[in-house]
Amino acid sequence: MSIQGYDEELWSERKHLAGLYARLDAERARAQGEYDAALAGTGGTPMERDVRVRASAKEVTRLKVADNGLCFGRMDAMSGEISYIGRIGLFDQENDYEPVLLDWRAPASRPFYVATGANPEGMRRRRQFHTRGRRLVDLTDEVLGGTGEHDPAAEQGDAALLAAVNAPRGDGMRDIVATIQAEQDEIIRLDHPGVLVLEGGPGTGKTVVALHRVAYLLYTQRERMERHGVLVVGPNPAFLDHIGRVLPSLGESDVVFMTTGDLVPGLHAVAEDAPAAARLKGSRQILDVLAAAIADRQRLPESPLPIELADTTVRIDAGTAEWARDEARASGLPHNEARAAFTEIVTYVLTERAAARIGRGWLTRSDRDAWADLRADLTKELAQHEAFTAVLDQLWPMLTPQTLLASLYTSPARLRAAGADPSLARADGEAWTVSDVPLLDELVDLLGRDPAAEEAARHAAEREVAAETEYAAGVMEILTLDREELDEDIGVAVGDLTHHQNLADRFVEVDTRELAERAAADRDWTYRHVVVDEAQELSEMDWRVLMRRCPGRSFTVVGDLAQRRSPAGATSWAAMLEPYVPGRWVYRSLSVNYRTPAEIMNVAAALLAEFAPGVAPPESVRACGVAPWSRRVPDTHLADDDLAAVVEAFVADEAGRAGTSVVIGPPGTPGAVPASETKGLEFDAVLVVEPGRILADGPHGAADLYVALTRATQRLGVVHRDPLPQALSGLTDTGTPAPVGKRPG
């Protein structure tokens, strides 16, 4: 294409994009008007009005986020038809809703992402736009389909991709709708109703692909998924903050973000157990321990326990309690709910004994009515008897997951009775760790609800409704007062209250929370789809929690077994998934590294070859031209100062550059974060401190160092006092430390 031809095409496309933005603005104005009308509307019930407000608010949001890169490409078909591809779909309402901009998720958009010269998918040319705000600044063409044309611009087919991966990183992950690659598109649109396992090494884009898959599923299955939403589980809050903007940027908000430490409402666990305890708690074998711990609390009295009634004293002996216990267990109900069966048997035995003693000499069983009346009186007396209730609490206590688990951890005797390993003992029973969360969740089902507590909650709600009803009745009564007196007394115009429906609406409670907020607060909420990132870290017990949260078993599982650091994590995907979805999971992998330049990946690959020799490193899509460097400080009494000086110089140097940077070191390193806190994140520049100590820090050391080395998108440095691990010998040695402020190398 000549320079003149390029300028003409650029001008023409700018004019077309201006038209698309004008159409977008009109759509946004219409949606905003509908939203304002919904807010002010009075028709229908409060719930119906709330639904209208939510729907119009979503439409406003969808159109608002579309402003960020509305249109990013065009397809020219062999037939001569031209289609534009964008963040959302736009239609010509005056021309039978003819599409003027195809949503990137629409089936008709797929050729834009997957067409090649060998397989053009009916396309003659693919044009990619480079925009800044609403302005089109550049375009590149890729000629397809064997037309015989020669266009130098066709050699720039990867220009948009390279521009994206080389751009400085910001505070969060960006969407990739403009640069989705063919292998990524195949995974995003994969039609599989079960579990998809997506594995890839560092920088392969597996996380962002999984998030775009969520956006695609919400687009193609919105009616099925929208009311229940999607759960995204990540390794830590920093990671969730990093990825949290992607789905909103695609117009999707019905998504809940959690770590595994958040899966029980009201609990936010971040502490980790020692490896041995984490392994024990993460194994399905802990289920036997939990069951035994519950059974241990279903006690038999060592000696008969007396209950003094008004007219006699009866005793609960071991035989009675054993019969009641066996019947309660045979009911199949959870522990708390089975207490009713236990209580019923004990009550039956005691009332029979008490009635026999009280009626001796004047009452026989043949006098059925009198016998029944006496037993009914005794049953009522026992139900209100504090000592009897105390004995029941001793033999079959009502338990919460927290009280059961805390009492187990703090009692060596209870640990022994439950067949648990002594390493689970700890002084503070409620110092919850991430590994405790699935156990607490499991106990919700094993223990069941507390009927008495739920009944009390219902009574409280009924009292509140009764109070509101009484108030409403009072308002209705004063409607007979003088209009001016009423307006003055309650500050409400009579005209606003004269219709009984308007008055009633004021006392109808509508849950106005967003779906994500409601779902996060409800332990029994079920999701239509779940995304699990860094899934190699999840234990068998973690998976039990997630399977309960998604009965339909629709998952996108993202991970890399080579990066596993948890002793309870996955060693194979089949071992984790087959017990839950036998034959219903498929595996896909990503092999191209879009984050890490070749110079850095070569160093990381040498480490990978040592600790995971059977795993092939991902192939970097680019080189950056900057060699990763290392610097050793002298092992003297000033070594710590010298290390700090290099770190300070790195931080000062990177502060003057665009993008982001981080210092990664062993736990406790001043000014550094542990590698575990950077999983899934990316930075323009990374400085790794004392890699040898990271490597030596337990069985997860090699995985942690591999993570640290693969976070950088442009520049990697290593500073150390201890000897450099042999795997890192490929780093460029820059010698002694530079003065503060001088750029290394």
Query: 203 and 257: one domain?
Result: yes
H-state helical runs in 448-580? 451-478, 483-490, 500-505, 515-520, 540-549, 573-577
Q: Where residue 611 sits, what CATH number does that domain have? A: 3.40.50.300
Backbone φ, ψ for residue 630 (5° rounding): -135, 155
Query: 584 and 679: one domain?
Result: no
9: in domain: yes
Q: Which of 337, 369, 398 is the last residue of a domain?
A: 398
Query: 531 and 468: one domain?
Result: no
pLDDT in tens, 694-742: 999 988 899 999 999 999 999 999 999 999 999 999 999 987 544 444 4
Query: 10 and 110: one domain?
Result: yes
Query: 55 and 138: one domain?
Result: yes
Q: Which residues, given as ranges, of the chain have pLDDT below 70? A: 1, 146-159, 453-511, 637-639, 736-745
Burial 291-316 (b: 16+ CB within 10 A, else e): eebbebbbeebeeebebebeebebeb
Query: 28 and 104: one domain?
Result: yes
User: Domain containing 392: what range?
Assistant: 298-398
- Quote the pLDDT of residue 666: 94
Query: 137 and 209: one domain?
Result: no
Strands 529-532 and 123-132: unpaired
Rg (CA), the chain: 34
269: in domain: no
243: in domain: yes
- Quote the pLDDT of residue 458: 64
- Quote the pLDDT of residue 5: 82
Q: Which of 539, 565, 590 is the last residue of a domain?
A: 590
Query: 324 and 242: one domain?
Result: no
Strands 732-733 and 98-103: unpaired
Q: Report pTM.
A: 0.86
442: in domain: no
Query: 569 and 705: one domain?
Result: no
Q: Give whole-number Cα distances, 132 to 69, 71, 129, 158, 599, in Å.
A: 8, 11, 10, 18, 30
For the chain, what percent of residues have pLDDT higher than 70? Answer: 88
426: in domain: no
Half-sphere exposure of 622 (CA within 13 A, CB side): 19
Query: 54 and 141: one domain?
Result: yes
- Quote the pLDDT of residue 278: 96
Look at residue 553 and give its three-state secondary structure: coil
Query: 678 and 707: one domain?
Result: yes
612: in domain: yes
53: in domain: yes
Q: Which two tokens stand for residue 300?
A: 């038999």
190: in domain: no
Query: 583 and 614: one domain?
Result: no
Tell me how many domains the chain contains: 5
DSSP 316-329: E-HHHHHHHHHHHH
pLDDT in tens, 421-480: 999 999 999 999 999 999 999 999 999 988 776 666 666 656 665 665 566 566 555 545
Look at residue 534 and give its three-state secondary structure: coil
